[in-house]
Structure 1
Amino acid sequence: MRYAEQVPRRSRSGRKMGAAAAATLIAMTMAACSGGGGGGGGDDEAGGAAAPSTIPELTEDPLTLSFIWFEWPPAQALEDFANAEYSKERPNVTVEVNTVPNANWHDAMFTQFAARQTDFDIAVLDSQHIGEAVTNGNILDLTDFIDENIDVDAYDPYLLAAYGQYPQAETGQRDEDASLYGLPLLGDTWTMIYRKDLIGDEPPATWDEMISVARQCQEDNPGVSGLAFHQANGSDAAAVTYNTVNGVYGGELWDSDERQIEGIINDEAGQKSMDVLVNEMKPLTATGSGNWFIDEVNAAVAQGKACIAFNWIAPIGGLLDPEQSTLGDTREEILDKLGFATLPTQDTDLVPLGGMGMHVSAYAPEDRQAEALNFMRWFQQPEIQKKWAEAGGVPARTDALNSPEFLDAAPYNQVFTDSVPRMRDMWNVPEYAQLIDIENTSVNAALNGVKGPEEALDDIATEQQDVLDSSGGGL
C-alpha cells in the first residue's frame, strides 16, 4: 500500500530528490525511448537477471548504498538505523534513503527502470508494484539467494509472498514454486484508533456496531466527528478504504484465475459495501474531509476531533507525542484517551495488507548489487529485526513480531501481530497502477457526491475490466 508523510509534522533530514534529480529523470525517460543502456546485470526478458546464490566478494572501498522510498518517518528511521547498526558490520558503507513525495514514488522508480539506469540500488516497492517490475526485468530474481541465505520458515507465508513473490499466490498462501524478487522491509495494516474517554474502554466488535457507536459519539460531542478515514483521490487512499469495507462485508475484488472484475466487485456484497461507505460512514466525517489521507486523519485524532479513526500503523507514532497532540501533556495522559484495536469484523474478519519490501535494481553496478544482497541478508537476522522493531520499524519475522522488543515498543504493535492472519491484498499484476487510479477516482467521486454509489462501483468494474481485457497479459 502507498502512504504519505506523517502529520502532525516531524522534522526529518532524509535526502530528497531535487531539481537536478528531476532533470535526470527527464533525460532518462528520453534515453529509454532510444534504448538507453544499463548499469550492472539488467535483462530485457521478463523476469530479469538472477542474483547469485552466494554473496560476491564485497569491496572494502568506501561505498554508498542507496535506497529510494517516499517521504515519511520510516524512511528516516531506516537511514538512521542502518547507519548505526549496519556500519558495525560494514564500516566502509554509508546508507542513503533518498525520498520523493508519495504521489511521485511509483514514477520516480519506474521512469529510471524504463531507462535501464538507476541512481538507486535498492527499490522499496509496494507489494502491487512487483508484477510490473518483474515483467519488465527491472529487479533481480532473488530465489536462489533466498534459498541459500534466508530462513523462509521464520516468516508468515503470506508476508513473505506479499513482499516478494511473483506471480502472487492466493491471499494467505505462498506458492513455493514461484520466484521471489524481494524481502520484507516494513509490515503494516490498518488499526482502529478510538477515544476511550468518549466511547468507553471496549472497542466496537463489529463494523455495524462501530458505525452506531460513532454516530452516537458524534451526536453527544458537538465539534467531534464520528469517523475519520482515507478518502483522497491519490495514491491508493480512497481505494483501500472501499476495499476494506468490501472485505468485511464479504465482497471480492476480482477472480484472479479468470482475470474477471466486472460482475464481482459490483455484485450484491460490493454494492452493499459501497452503500455503507457512502451513506452510513461518510455522513459521520468532518466537513471538507473528502480528500483526507494519512496526514489529515492523524491531525484529526491529535486535535481531538474524531471519535474513531482508521489509519496505517507505521506512520502514527506522533499521536503519542505530547508536542504534537492536544489530548494530554504526557504520553500516559494521551493513552488514557486513545485506544488502538484490530479492525472490527462483520461478515468476515479481513484487514488490508500494507507495508513493502526491498528489491535490488537490475541496473545497479555489481559492487552495489553485492552490497545490497549483503544488507538484505543482514537485515533479516532475528536480532536485527528485533532492533529494527525497537527503532520504530514493523518487522516481518514471526519471532520478531512476537518479541517483547516489538510488542512493548508501542501500544498498537500488538494490533499488527494479531492482524497478520487476517490480511488481504489487492491485485498483484502489472496493470496495478491503472487499476488503482480507476478505483481511487470513482470512490472519491462517490464520497464527494459527484457520483452515486451504484454508478461509481459500476464504473470501476467496467473500466478495470477494460484494462485487464486490453492488456492481454496474464499471471
Structure 2
Amino acid sequence: MTYTGLTWDHPRGHDALAAAAGDLVHWSVQPLEGFESHPVDELCARYDLVVLDHPHLGEALASGCLRPLDDLFGREELDRWRTGSIGPTMGSYTMHGRQWALPLDAATQVAATRPDLVGEPPATWDEVQRLARRAPVALSLAGPHAFLTFASIAVALGEEPAADPEVLISDGTGRAVLDLMAAVDALAPAETRALNPIGLLELMSRTERVAHCPLVYGYVTYADRLAFTDAPAARPGGRPGSTLGGTGLAVSSRCTTTPELLDHVRWLMSPSAQREFLPEHNGQPSARAAWTDPAIVAADFYRRTTATCEQAWVRPRHAGYIGFQAAASAVVRAVLAKETSHRAALDRMRVLHRTSRTTKKRRT
C-alpha cells in the first residue's frame, strides 16, 4: 500500500521525508504560502499524511479532519517524544488533551547575519536599531510575518500577545513595538518588504543588499552562508523574543493506517533519524539531543539558537486564528506605510482577534 503525503516545497521540508519514504509514501509539495494559509481540512481530504503548522489545529479539530495520535501510539512513546523534543514543539500540537501531530521539524524566529558585513550580530533591540543606521537591516513582513514579528518583539519586551484574549496586547507594549518596527523598517531596503523568509535568506546569502535580519525563521540549509544567532532581547540577558514555527506530521481522518506506516513514523522520531538521517538530508530535527549534539551537521546553527527555541512563544490555535494572523499583518504593514495610526491599528487588531475567536468551521 502506498500512502499520499503533502509537505512544503523546500529542501528542509521535503528531502528527508522523500529519501526515507521508499515506496511507502508518495510526497507532494505545496509552496510555503500554502503551508502557512491553505485550509487544512481541504488538504486532509486529499492526503493521508499532512505536514502542518500548529496554529492550524483549531480549524482542523473543528472540521474533524485529523486522527488523534493517542489512538495510534502508546502513552509511553508519546511521553518520550514530548520529553525529548526541544522547547514547546511537541506541546504545540497538543490540544483538548490529545496529541494531533508529531514535531518532525523545529524552527523559530532567530537572527540572521552576514558577519563579513557587520561583524558580531546585535543581541538587543537597541543594538539592532544602532546597526540599522550603518548597515542594511530588514524585518520579515510579507504574508503573516508582519504580525509574527510584532508578536516576537512584544515577547522580548515582556508581554506575550493574547495572554488576555480580549485585550490582545496592552497599549504600552503595542505602541512600543510599532515604534521600534517603524524605526527599523524606515531604513530597510524597499525590496525586502515583499519577501517571505526564504526570499530574505536568499537575498542575504547572494547579495550585500541585506546584512542583518533580526527576526526570521531559521533555516539550517543557509547555515553555510549566514550566521544564525538567538533572537534579540530587550536587554542583555533577557528573554529572546520569538514566535515558534516548525512543522508537525499529522494523520488525516481519511487515512487507514498499517503497522508499516506507524513504524515509519516512529523511525522518523527516533534518535538515529533525528540526529543523523534528517540532518544529512537537509532536515531540521525537533529532538533536543540533535540540537545539542556538537557532532551534528551545522552544529553552530543549533547551538547558537537553542535558547531562543526553548523559550519561543506558541501562537493561539483557535479555529479563526489563521485568518486573524493574515489580517493583523496587513494592519501592521499599514502602520509602517504610514497609512494608519498606532492607536487605530491596535484597536483594529483587537477587534480582529476578538472576532476570530467566534469563528466556527462546520464539522464535516
TM over 0.5: yes
Q: Tell me the amino acid that sits aligned with residue 178 of structure 2.
A: M
Report whether the alignment pairs 1:131 with 2:58: yes
Q: Which of 339, 343, 354 is the aligned partner of 2:245?
A: 354
Q: Tell me the amino acid that sits aligned with residue 300 of structure 1.
A: L
Q: Which residue of 2 aligns with 1:281?
A: 184
Cα pair distance change 1:437/1:198, threshold 3 Å: closer
- Give 1:99 shift: 1.1
1:50-449 equivalence runs, <5 A: 63-83=1-21, 87=22, 93-105=23-35, 106-107=37-38, 109-113=40-44, 118-144=45-71, 145-150=73-78, 151-152=80-81, 153-156=83-86, 158-162=88-92, 164-167=93-96, 178-200=97-119, 202-215=120-133, 217-218=134-135, 225=136, 227-232=137-142, 234=143, 236-255=144-163, 259-260=165-166, 262=167, 264-278=168-182, 280-302=183-205, 303-309=207-213, 310-314=215-219, 317-318=221-222, 320=224, 338-346=226-234, 348-349=238-239, 350-367=241-258, 370-387=259-276, 388-406=278-296, 408-409=297-298, 411-449=300-338
Q: Which residue of 2 aligns with 1:452?
A: 341
- SS of structure 2 residue aligned to 1:353: coil
- Tell whether the 8 Å contact from 2:291 to 2:299 is kept in structure 1 after alignment: no
- Give 1:180 shift: 1.0
Note the aligned Cα RMSD (angstroms): 2.5
Task: Provide the C-alpha distance between the structure 2 equivalents of 1:318 and 1:143, rounded to a whole number of angstroms.
Answer: 36
- SS of structure 2 residue aligned to 1:284: coil
Off by >4 Å, runs of 4+ in structure 1: 469-473
Structure 1 length normalisation: TM-score?
0.68
Cα pair distance change 1:81/1:356, threshold 3 Å: same
- SS of structure 2 residue aligned to 1:404: coil
Task: Provide the C-alpha distance between the structure 2 equivalents of 1:266 and 1:471, rounded to a whole number of angstroms.
Answer: 27
**Percent of aligned positions that are identical:** 22
- Tell whether the 8 Å contact from 1:442 to 1:460 is kept in structure 2 after alignment: yes
Cα pair distance change 1:345/1:469, threshold 3 Å: same
Task: Provide the C-alpha distance between the structure 1 equivalents of 2:193 and 2:340, rounded to a whole number of angstroms.
Answer: 13
Moved more, 185-194 or 448-457: 448-457
- Tell whether the 8 Å contact from 2:147 to 2:332 is kept in structure 1 after alignment: yes
- Give 1:383 shift: 1.1
- SS of structure 2 residue aligned to 1:98: strand
Q: Tell me the amino acid that sits aligned with residue 131 of structure 1.
A: G
Q: Tell me the amino acid that sits aligned with residue 334 of structure 2.
A: A
Task: Provide the C-alpha distance between the structure 2 equivalents of 1:97 and 1:125, rounded to a whole number of angstroms.
Answer: 14
Cα pair distance change 1:184/1:199, threshold 3 Å: same
Q: Tell me the amino acid that sits aligned with residue 304 of structure 2.
A: V
- Tell whether the 8 Å contact from 2:112 to 2:227 is kept in structure 1 after alignment: yes
Task: Provide the C-alpha distance between the structure 2 equivalents of 1:463 and 1:450, rounded to a whole number of angstroms.
Answer: 18
Say how many residue pairs are matched.
352
- Give 1:362 shift: 0.8
Task: Provide the C-alpha distance between the structure 1 equivalents of 2:361 and 2:17, rounded to a whole number of angstroms.
Answer: 40
- Give 1:155 shift: 2.7
Task: Provide the C-alpha distance between the structure 2 equivalents of 1:125 and 1:457, rounded to a whole number of angstroms.
Answer: 29
Cα pair distance change 1:354/1:472, threshold 3 Å: closer
- Give 1:389 shift: 2.2
- Give 1:421 shift: 2.1
- Give 1:430 shift: 1.5
Task: Provide the C-alpha distance between the structure 2 equivalents of 1:298 and 1:313, rounded to a whole number of angstroms.
Answer: 9
Q: Tell me the amino acid that sits aligned with residue 137 of structure 1.
A: G
- Give 1:405 shift: 4.2
Using CA pairs below 8 Å that are at least 6 residues apart, which structure has the higher relative contact order? 2
Q: Tell me the amino acid that sits aligned with residue 313 of structure 2.
A: R
- SS of structure 2 residue aligned to 1:99: strand
- Tell whether the 8 Å contact from 1:392 to 1:409 is kept in structure 2 after alignment: no
- Give 1:374 shift: 2.2
Cα pair distance change 1:76/1:470, threshold 3 Å: closer
Task: Provide the C-alpha distance between the structure 1 equivalents of 2:98 and 2:147, rounded to a whole number of angstroms.
Answer: 28
- SS of structure 2 residue aligned to 1:185: strand
- Give 1:354 shift: 1.1
